[in-house]
Every structure is written in C-alpha cells, then in structure tokens.
C-alpha cells in the first residue's frame, strides 16, 4: 500500500513538473528536416513520375543569408536569440532554421543547384593578402556534396571555388546511373570559413534513394528490402547532428561566460557560455579576445547542446517491435558522438532544466538500462557487406551511419551520447555522457531478439518482392546474420588489384617562439609514413596547405593502398570523390583492432574501430594517443595507430582536396590538393595544364 501511494503521488509530481516543460518544448518534437522544394514547385504541378525518373533533371535554389531566430536552451528554460549565417530555401522550418533542408535525389539524375550568396560584402574574400591558413572570408561560401560520386571539377563538386557575397552560381551534379543509394550530406567548404559556417548550422542531409533490384550479375539498393511485414516502407528517420556554438558577447567583444573557481594558482574554469535575456548569439570569430573559441575542449566548456535537426533534446515517438531506419549524420565541427539508447527507469522524473553537464548525472540516475543493441547497415552512405551489431555508433565529424533500430518494448528510452576516451574524441579529453533526446515507445509487439526479428523480416520481404532468379540467394544471405552482399555498391579490393601506394601523416606543429608566451601553432600534412622507432617530423616533412601546390598526383584507373597516421593527436581523415575500403587498423602494439570482436583499449576502451575491417567509408578517425600539448616533448613513437585503406580512382579526373574533418583544422591548413590525371598511354600519367 505504502509503495502504491508513494508511486502515485510521485507520478503526480512528475506530471505537474512535466506539464510546463512539455508546453515550452512543443517545438522540440523530432521531425525529419524539411525537404528542399524544387524551383517552381509551388507554381505548377510537378508530375511525380518526372521528378523521380532516373534520368530526370532537378532544379533547386539554395540561399545563404543571415537568419534571426532562436535556439532552445534547456539550461535556462528559455530560447536564446541568435543571428547566424544559414541556408534558406523553400521548405525550411521557420522554427528550426539552423539545419539545411534535405535534398532528395535518385541515381542518374542531373541536379542543378543554384547557390545565392546574400551575405554582406566581405573585402577579405578578394583582398586577403595574408596567410591563407588564417581564418578569413567569413561571408564567402561554396558547396560540397559530401561525398557524392561526381566530378570534382568545373561547376560540379568543386570546393576550390569561392562564391563571394552578391554572387549567384549554378552547381550541376551529374549523378551516374550506378551511383549508390544512401545517406550523404552537404555543407559549405570555403577554405578560411568552413568551420565558422558549418558550426552555424550550414549543413544538411543529401539522400540518394534507389529502387534497383539485385540481379544474378548486379547488386541492388538496400532501400528495396527495408519494408515492414505488410510491405509498406519502413519508418525512415534522418538525423543531422550539429554543434551550433553561438556566443553572446560583452561590450569588449568577449564571450560572456560563467566560471567556477579552481584551487590556486589555476585560473577560474569556464563552465558555460551564457546569454542574458536580450542578448543575441553570434558566431563571428574563431578566437575571441578572452581566448575562447574553437579550440579543443571549448565545445564542452560552452555548455551548448548537440542539436538534432536544429532541435535540442527532441522527443521521438516510436512503437514497440516496429523496425526503423535511422540515418545518423555528424554535420558538426566538434563533439565526438557515441550514439546509443538506454531504457529509462519508469519512475524517473521528467527532464526539465538540465544543463548539458547535468545530463551525465541524469543518465546515471535514470537511464539505467543496458545499451540497446542495434544494427548498423551502412557507413558513410555505403551499404556494408554485413550488418554490424553494435551497442553504440561512434560518429566523428563528417561520419554517417545508417542503422536498423527496433525498440523491444514500450516505455521511454534515453538517446545518449556515451563517453569517449581522450584519443577517441575531438576534444582530446575523455568526454562526459550527454543526453541527446528521448524516445517515447508506444505499446506494440514486444520483441526479445531484435536481430533475429530483422533477419526474419528482411528475408521474408526479399522472398516476396525479388525476382525468382535471386530471391532464394538473397533471403539466405539475410538469414545468415544480415549479410547484404547483394546490395553493396563497391566490390572488395583484392591484394592483386593494388597498383601503388600513398602515405599520409597529419601533424600539428607547436613552436614556442623565444620571448613569447603564446606558441605558434600550424596545421600540416606530411607525405611519408612515420618510422615507429624514431619520431622525427623532418622524416615526413609536414606542410601547411598551399593553394598553389598539388600535393599528390594520382592516376585514373589506379588503385592505391594508403597508410594513414597522425603525428600529433587524433584527426578524422576525409578525401573527396572516391571512397576507400578499410584494410587494417593497428594499435601501437601492432594489434589489428578493426577485426570484428577486437578490443581497442590502448588509450582507454574505445568501441569505434572493431568491426570496421573491409568497410567502405569516406571519413575515418586516425588515432594517436598523445592527448595534450604537454605530452609532446616526450612523445613516444609507439603512441600512433597505423591505418591502411585502399581506393580506386574511377571515372573522374581533376583537382580536389583531402583534409582533416575537424573543420577549424582544415581552415588553418590541415588540407592538401590532390589531382587525378589520365594515364599517358605508356606507364605514366599525362601532364595537366599546371
């Protein structure tokens, strides 16, 4: 009796607490980002058949402008006003404008995307004059389709262009008919302002939908089998995860912060960036006068919240036993996201005014269930050869994972960002857990074995919808641990196919100039692997980005094995145009931690690598155990991981870039120009016009 009484009165308290929060948070219900509407679609009736035809032409407009709006701040239980650069276009949600609209296309289509730069004039775009690796041209922009398999040249996916204020420019992406269907994204990529613009929310999902069935000789699109038992389409969620790091400034231009005292002689520690009631948050500098900005650890210090489609801690609504496709896109510049679900204790209170930092305590007290296992089915948009059963997905900036999620029973599930070890995280320090949202799961059909249920479902769909000459084979593959061999876009690269090699080392050079307290920091890339016995930067000769220099010339039709390392702290490697296949990821002791079931704990337990062997990606974390600049003088060469990947240079020639996807590192020089040229007809490479 006592228990019932207490429980009843507790529920009443929760209800009373929850009511105002629910009202204030009404706009924080999860929804997929709005679709970008085609030019003229409001004026005339587009024929759906024309719009979805494989060879169809699609015309879009995207405008870049300052937008006045607001972002919910759970720490203060009010909206913060903000004034940020953003993409605007037909269909953008006026209540959540700091995520770009979804662009949905199909293989074989021609996409015309006219970018209109309506930002104010910016003389630093045309008369910069100084160091190209110092942030500049904040109002210049361009567009990167990350990573559509299209030409990097001319008016296609060419990030070497600057679309300055007042300029309109038509990009045209010709998606080949064999383009993979999957989860891609787009963002600005103007060297000098990439981090500033992407951290303002200038990123959006780019979804290629396909309906190609597998045949005895060709693979199909996984989209065709992702159906419910009644053959209706599976719930399809798109999540663009972002870190919108706005600051409210005082009269001197310093970021307004809240600090807590530290034991002497340490200076007070920043625990939050704050905004007073009439302040307007902005993102206008990489480094504000009070030494606050885009540095490591400053995202955590800011106390800002990772947003999902521009929403803070949204509420998802699901049904027990109903499978869902979650397309997770890390469209931010900071914060390693270790994405998972934990069952919430039914007696737990509603979330009201939790700060970002208090999220960890809330999870510890209330999200007490085990991590819910789910199935990754695609990495960086590319369907995997077999589903990877995971408790979490580690998303570094630029990453995508598509997952099949089944909530086994009714109740609330916390969407959590689990902690990551220092060497596995952008912040270079162990991260604390964050609460990203809440899933309210309505009663349905409870499931005990979600992996088995998905095998049964997808194999039964395959038997019912696929042609007779493939359906038994595909159904058997699906029943055998969710193998997707009939749906992969790129065949494995065998040892015998490799024609050459490339070596790459990321490096941050910290030089303490004599008589100055502030070291000079430069961001660099080297072209020669590190000898693990002797760490000597002269050996790999790392250089900052130089727009006039081609750092690598690659041959069309060639297949290279790349060796990737980092000489100082960890960085996500990203290359445009052609994706790569992971061959091995060896830890400092020489153990291959990419194998399924491997344990990667050299720098603290880290789930991000095991199971990635043979997976195709376009962005990959290059781990180095060195965690802080003070570790640098005594750096052990054995702190490095060595990663091998292989890539085919297919179809496209031209100049493009590879870079670190911590975008402020990219802006400051951790980037290279790469050019694919055609063979000369003998064994060499034909010269280009440089």
Please count the residues of the chain.
690
| x-marked contacts with Cu ion along 553-582 as a string, rule CB under 5 A | ------------------x-----------
Task: Please list the residues that pair with 483 across neighbouring strands.
Answer: 386
Of 325 and 428, nearer to Cu ion (C-beta) is 428
Of 248 and 505, nearer to Cu ion (C-beta) is 505
Residue 609 CB, nearest distance to Cu ion (Å)? Answer: 18
Residue 565 CB, nearest distance to Cu ion (Å)? Answer: 13
Told to check if 334 binds Cu ion by CB under 5 A, we report no
| x-marked contacts with Cu ion along 424-443 as a string, rule CB under 5 A | --------------------
In this chain, which stretch among 200-208, 428-436, 642-650, 656-664 interacts with Cu ion, using CB under 5 A? 656-664
Rounded Cα–Cα distance for residues 244 and 200 (Å):
5
| x-marked contacts with Cu ion along 516-555 as a string, rule CB under 5 A | ----------------------------------------
Residue 633 CB, nearest distance to Cu ion (Å)? Answer: 20
Residue 584 CB, nearest distance to Cu ion (Å)? Answer: 22
In this chain, which stretch among 120-128, 154-162, 263-271, 657-665 interacts with Cu ion, using CB under 5 A? 657-665
Task: Please list the residues that pair with 687 across neighbouring strands.
Answer: none
Q: Are residues 133 and 545 in contact, defined by beta-carbon separation less than 8 angstroms?
A: yes
> Of 117, 73, 32, which Cα lies nearest the Cα of 246?
73
Rounded Cα–Cα distance for residues 30 and 429 (Å):
30
Residue 665 CB, nearest distance to Cu ion (Å)? Answer: 3
Residue 619 CB, nearest distance to Cu ion (Å)? Answer: 12
Residue 158 CB, nearest distance to Cu ion (Å)? Answer: 23
Rounded Cα–Cα distance for residues 229 and 227 (Å):
7
Residue 622 CB, nearest distance to Cu ion (Å)? Answer: 9
Alpha helices, DSSP H, located in 306-388:
358-366
Rounded Cα–Cα distance for residues 528 and 564 (Å):
9
Residue 169 CB, nearest distance to Cu ion (Å)? Answer: 28
Rounded Cα–Cα distance for residues 538 and 474 (Å):
52
Of 344 and 665, nearer to Cu ion (C-beta) is 665
| x-marked contacts with Cu ion along 670-689 as a string, rule CB under 5 A | x-------------------
Residue 108 CB, nearest distance to Cu ion (Å)? Answer: 36
CA distances in angstroms from 556 to 183, 348, 579, 651, 684, listed in the order given: 26, 58, 14, 7, 11
Helices then strands (H, E): number in the chain? Answer: 9, 34
Q: Are residues 52 and 338 in contact, defined by beta-carbon separation less than 8 angstroms?
A: no
Of 454 and 670, nearer to Cu ion (C-beta) is 670
Residue 660 CB, nearest distance to Cu ion (Å)? Answer: 3
Q: Which H/E stretch holds residue 7?
A: helix 2-24
Residue selected from 660, 663, 674, 676 as contacting Cu ion according to rule CB under 5 A: 660
Residue 571 CB, nearest distance to Cu ion (Å)? Answer: 3
Residue 554 CB, nearest distance to Cu ion (Å)? Answer: 22
> Could you give the strand order of the β-sheet that contains 571-575, starting from the edge strand earlier in sequence?
552-555, 671-677, 654-660, 571-575, 619-622
In sequence order, what are the residues at sequence separation of 6 or more whose Cβ sits closer than 8 angstroms to the Cβ of residue 682? none
Of 103 and 660, nearer to Cu ion (C-beta) is 660
Binding-site size, Cu ion (CB under 5 A):
5
Q: Are residues 71 and 281 in contact, defined by beta-carbon separation less than 8 angstroms?
A: yes
CA distances in angstroms from 543 to 439, 505, 520, 625, 641, listed in the order given: 47, 10, 14, 22, 21
Of 210 and 669, nearer to Cu ion (C-beta) is 669
CA distances in angstroms from 192 to 131, 132, 547, 646, listed in the order given: 10, 7, 12, 30
Of 281 and 296, nearer to Cu ion (C-beta) is 296
Of 189 and 571, nearer to Cu ion (C-beta) is 571
In this chain, which stretch among 225-233, 310-318, 651-659, 663-671 interacts with Cu ion, using CB under 5 A? 663-671
Of 488 and 505, nearer to Cu ion (C-beta) is 505
Residue selected from 439, 457, 662, 676 as contacting Cu ion according to rule CB under 5 A: 662
Told to check if 665 binds Cu ion by CB under 5 A, we report yes
Of 400 and 661, nearer to Cu ion (C-beta) is 661
Q: Using the structure block, give the residue that is written with the tokens 């095991």.
A: 610
Q: Which H/E stretch holds residue 17?
A: helix 2-24
Of 30 and 573, nearer to Cu ion (C-beta) is 573
Token pair for 620 = 């990959």
Token pair for 430 = 């162990």
Q: Which H/E stretch holds residue 3?
A: helix 2-24
Residue 293 CB, nearest distance to Cu ion (Å)? Answer: 15
Of 107 and 669, nearer to Cu ion (C-beta) is 669
Told to check if 640 binds Cu ion by CB under 5 A, we report no
Of 484 and 568, nearer to Cu ion (C-beta) is 568
SS in 3 state form for 241-293?
EECCCCECECCCCCECEEEECCCCCCCCEEEEECCCCCCEEECCCCECCCCCE
Of 386 and 570, nearer to Cu ion (C-beta) is 570
In this chain, which stretch among 267-275, 325-333, 380-388, 669-677 interacts with Cu ion, using CB under 5 A? 669-677
Q: Is the peptide bond before 368 cis (omega within 30 degrees of 0)?
A: no
Site residues (vs Cu ion, CB under 5 A)? 571, 660, 662, 665, 670
């Amino acid at each position: 009796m006592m228990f019932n009484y207490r429980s009843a009165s507790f529920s009443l308290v929760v209800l009373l607490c929850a009511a105002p929060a629910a009202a204030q948070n009404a706009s924080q219900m999860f929804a997929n980002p709005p679709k970008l509407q085609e030019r003229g679609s409001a004026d005339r009736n587009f024929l759906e058949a024309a719009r979805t035809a494989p060879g169809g032409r699609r015309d879009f407009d995207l405008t870049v402008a300052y937008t006045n709006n607001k972002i919910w701040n759970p720490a203060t239980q009010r909206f913060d006003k903000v004034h940020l650069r953003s993409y605007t276009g037909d269909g953008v949600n006026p209540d959540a404008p700091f995520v770009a609209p979804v662009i949905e296309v199909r293989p074989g289509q021609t996409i015309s995307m006219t970018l209109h730069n309506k930002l104010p004039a910016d003389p630093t775009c045309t008369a910069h004059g100084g160091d190209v690796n110092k942030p500049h041209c904040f109002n210049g922009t361009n567009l990167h389709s990350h990573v559509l398999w299209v030409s990097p040249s001319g008016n296609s996916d060419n990030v070497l262009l600057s679309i300055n204020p007042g300029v309109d420019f038509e990009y045209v992406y010709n998606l080949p008919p064999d383009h993979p269907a999957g989860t891609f994204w787009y963002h600005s990529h103007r060297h000098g302002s990439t981090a500033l613009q992407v951290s303002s929310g200038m990123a959006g999902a780019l979804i290629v939908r396909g309906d190609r069935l597998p045949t005895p000789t060709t693979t199909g699109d996984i989209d065709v089998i992702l159906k419910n038992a009644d053959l209706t389409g599976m719930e399809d969620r798109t999540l663009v995860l972002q870190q919108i790091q706005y600051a409210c400034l005082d009269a001197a231009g310093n970021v307004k912060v809240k600090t807590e005292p530290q034991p002497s002689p340490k200076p007070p520690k920043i625990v939050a960036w704050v905004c007073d009631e009439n302040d307007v948050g902005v993102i206008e500098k990489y480094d504000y006068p009070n030494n606050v900005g885009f540095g490591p650890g400053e995202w955590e210090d800011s106390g800002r919240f990772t947003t999902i489609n521009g929403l803070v801690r949204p509420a998802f609504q699901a049904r027990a036993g109903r499978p869902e496709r979650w397309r997770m896109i890390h469209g931010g510049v900071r914060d390693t996201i270790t994405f998972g679900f934990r069952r919430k204790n039914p007696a737990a209170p509603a979330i009201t005014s939790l700060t970002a930092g208090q999220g960890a305590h809330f999870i510890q007290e209330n999200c007490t269930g085990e991590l819910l296992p789910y199935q990754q089915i695609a990495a960086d948009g590319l369907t995997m050869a077999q589903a990877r059963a995971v408790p979490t997905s580690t998303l570094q900036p630029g990453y995508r994972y598509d997952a099949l999620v089944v909530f086994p029973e009714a109740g609330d599930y916390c969407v959590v960002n689990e902690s990551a070890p220092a060497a596995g995280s952008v912040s270079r320090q162990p991260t604390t857990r964050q609460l990203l949202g809440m899933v309210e799961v309505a009663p349905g059909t409870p499931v005990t074995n979600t992996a088995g249920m998905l095998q049964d479902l997808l194999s039964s769909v395959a038997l019912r919808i696929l042609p007779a000459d493939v359906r038994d084979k595909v159904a058997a593959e699906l029943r055998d641990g969710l193998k997707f061999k009939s749906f992969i876009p790129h065949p494995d690269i065998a040892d015998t196919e490799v024609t050459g090699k490339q070596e790459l080392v990321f490096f941050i050079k910290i030089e303490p100039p004599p008589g100055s307290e502030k070291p000079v920091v430069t961001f660099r890339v080297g072209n020669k692997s590190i000898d693990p016995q002797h760490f000597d930067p002269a050996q790999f000769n790392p250089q900052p980005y130089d727009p006039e220099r081609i750092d690598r010339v690659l041959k069309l039709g060639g297949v290279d094995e790349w060796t990737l390392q980092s000489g100082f702290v960890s960085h996500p490697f990203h290359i445009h145009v052609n994706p790569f296949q992971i061959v091995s990821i060896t830890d400092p002791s020489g153990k291959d931690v990419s194998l399924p079931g491997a344990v990667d704990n050299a720098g603290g337990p880290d789930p991000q690598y095991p199971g990635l062997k043979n997976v195709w990606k376009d962005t990959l974390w290059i781990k180095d155990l060195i965690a802080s600049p003070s570790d640098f003088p005594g750096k052990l060469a054995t702190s490095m991981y060595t990663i091998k990947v292989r890539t085919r240079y297919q179809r496209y020639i031209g100049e493009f870039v590879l870079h670190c996807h911590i975008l402020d590192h990219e802006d400051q020089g951790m980037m290279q120009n790469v050019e694919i040229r055609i063979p000369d007809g003998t064994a060499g490479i034909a010269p280009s016009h440089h």
